[in-house]
């Protein structure tokens, strides 16, 4: 059996998913939904995403003291990932400024694997099976249910929410692919993630100081502890995901991570007091069901 330097096994010879990995991925999904919910608690989401990235950079610096630096071969992937994540974080802030967590989160997470599947047709000549098309149709129906906005008896599509959530969804498969390769070359998924978060923190801090300097400085001064906490949650969640993909089939890991949609609905209701509409809950259920079908096709 071919083995990796960080204790994982080669992608071509992975064992069945072990119970500890299963539990870790579910915990990772819950953490991901939790830190997303915190973005709307005390600050403008556009500023809060930068604060979280800075907090993640500080936490990443501490983690690097234990993991050491990633292998230099991973540096090109890290550089590309930082650029992609800059678009991800800024789009995420705009998405949460335009809509609630219970709407944005399922849209972004649910649309990402569908976009990946559709792009694989022209890029790699991979045509989805009948089951996969059924999953795509189910996810699409769920996305529209979530995006529908009811106001004074009328029904309309919340275009801003849909637009920015779609921008987030496009970046997810991009950075996942880049970080998947980069993490394997780095020799340690935790070292790769830690260094990535340090770079992301500096990049988002520079961007925030240019775009919204006064608001960012005020938010960091008043809520730096929240930024450090949520940034640490984000770092831990992503590090566990990359580690899991080195020890279990990527498709299974990705499918389990989408359970975060259900966690997000719960956190949005309990922490943010967002009203869960029947259409939104039904849409999220359709999205999750469709993703399972796609992953099992």
Q: Let me know: does 64 contact 195? Beta carbons within 8 Å.
A: yes
Residue 83's pLDDT is 96
Residue 152's pLDDT is 46
Task: List average pLDDT for each run of 10 residues in the chain, which is 297 residues long.
Answer: 42 58 85 85 80 93 94 95 94 87 82 72 71 78 71 56 87 84 86 96 92 85 86 92 75 69 81 76 82 71
CA 248 to CA 55: how far, in whole Å? Answer: 29
Q: Let me know: does 62 contact 232? Beta carbons within 8 Å.
A: no
Residue 249's pLDDT is 63
* b/e code 219-258 from CB counts within 10 Å (16+ = b): bbeebeebbbbbbbbbbbbbbbbbbbbbbbbeebbbbbbb
Residue corresponding to tokens 């999205």: 287
Domain boundaries, the chain: 18-296
Is 74 in a helix, a strand, or coil?
helix
Residue 54's pLDDT is 93
Residue 237's pLDDT is 92
* pTM reported for the whole predicted model: 0.79
Residue 194's pLDDT is 96
Is 274 in a helix, a strand, or coil?
coil
Instruction: Return the closest-CA partner of residue 96 out of 151, 144, 37.
Output: 37
Residue 236's pLDDT is 93
Residue 79's pLDDT is 96
Residue 202's pLDDT is 95
Sequence-distant (6+) residues with CB within 8 A of 144 are 157, 283
* b/e code 265-287 from CB counts within 10 Å (16+ = b): bebbbeebebeebebbbebbbbb
């Amino acid at each position: 059996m071919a083995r990796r330097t960080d204790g994982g096994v080669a992608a071509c010879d992975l064992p069945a998913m072990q119970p500890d990995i299963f539990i870790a991925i579910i915990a990772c999904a819950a953490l991901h939904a939790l830190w997303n919910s915190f973005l709307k608690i005390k600050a403008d989401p556009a500023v809060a995403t930068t604060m979280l990235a800075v907090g993640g950079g500080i936490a990443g610096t501490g983690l690097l003291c234990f993991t050491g630096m990633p292998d230099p071969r991973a540096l090109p992937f890290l550089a590309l990932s930082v650029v992609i994540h800059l678009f991800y974080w800024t789009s995420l802030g705009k998405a949460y400024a335009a809509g609630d967590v219970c709407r944005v989160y399922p849209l972004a997470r649910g649309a990402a694997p569908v976009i990946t599947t559709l792009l694989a047709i022209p890029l790699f000549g991979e045509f989805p099976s009948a089951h996969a098309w059924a999953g795509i149709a189910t996810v699409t129906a769920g996305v529209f249910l979530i995006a529908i906005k009811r106001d004074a008896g009328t029904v309309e599509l919340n275009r801003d929410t849909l637009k920015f959530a779609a921008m987030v969804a496009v970046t997810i498969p991009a950075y996942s692919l880049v970080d998947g390769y980069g993490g394997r070359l780095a020799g340690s998924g935790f070292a790769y993630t830690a260094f990535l978060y340090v770079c992301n923190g500096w990049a988002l801090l520079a961007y925030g100081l240019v775009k919204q300097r006064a608001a960012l400085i005020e938010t960091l001064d008043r809520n730096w502890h929240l930024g450090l906490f949520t940034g640490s949650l984000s770092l831990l969640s992503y590090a566990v995901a990359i580690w899991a993909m080195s020890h279990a089939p990527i498709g299974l890991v990705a499918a389990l991570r989408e359970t975060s949609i259900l966690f997000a609905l719960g956190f949005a209701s309990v922490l943010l007091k967002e009203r869960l509409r029947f259409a939104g809950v039904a849409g999220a259920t359709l999205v999750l069901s469709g993703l399972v079908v796609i992953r099992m096709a």
